[in-house]
Homo-oligomer: A and B are copies of this chain.
Amino acid sequence: MQAEFEKPTGNEPVYLQIVNQVRCQLAAGRLSPGEPLPSRRELAMTLEINPNTVQKAYKILEEQGILSTAQSSHSVISASDEQIAEIRRSLARDAAREFAAKARSLGLDFREAMRVLGDEWE
């Protein structure tokens, strides 16, 4: 599958948004080990941002072992299955924590939160 990127928005630093988009796509299985990302220049053109900003994002992904870069060729997803599973767990935890906080601020107990979740599951 080909990686797809959305234009950065809001206040979060652009390079972090790119890092997170890659992590999300990995976790969702829309991006898999061995698959290439767009080149720095290419993605910068697509998102209408500076190549250095993409470089910063890719560098972080490399440092996390998610991305691997050979000389003069596109960077390639190098995350292990275990690493991807961990990213998925981490994102699921974040989403759950956010919902839990919201639900509890509304005065729901766990049973009620689960019930609403069930209603909205699909």
| A contact residues vs B (CB 8 Å cutoff) | 9-11, 24, 27-29, 63, 88-89, 91-93, 95-100, 102-108, 110, 112-114, 116-122
Main SS of chain A's interface residues? helix
Protomer copies: 4
Verify B27–A106 contact, CB threshold 8 A: yes
Select one of B29, B98, B112 contacting A107, CB under 8 A. B29
What are 24 A-to-B residue pairs whose CB atoms are below 8 Å? Answer: A10-B10, A24-B105, A27-B107, A28-B106, A29-B107, A63-B63, A88-B106, A92-B103, A92-B106, A92-B108, A92-B112, A92-B116, A95-B99, A95-B103, A95-B106, A96-B99, A96-B116, A98-B98, A100-B120, A100-B121, A104-B121, A104-B122, A113-B121, A117-B117
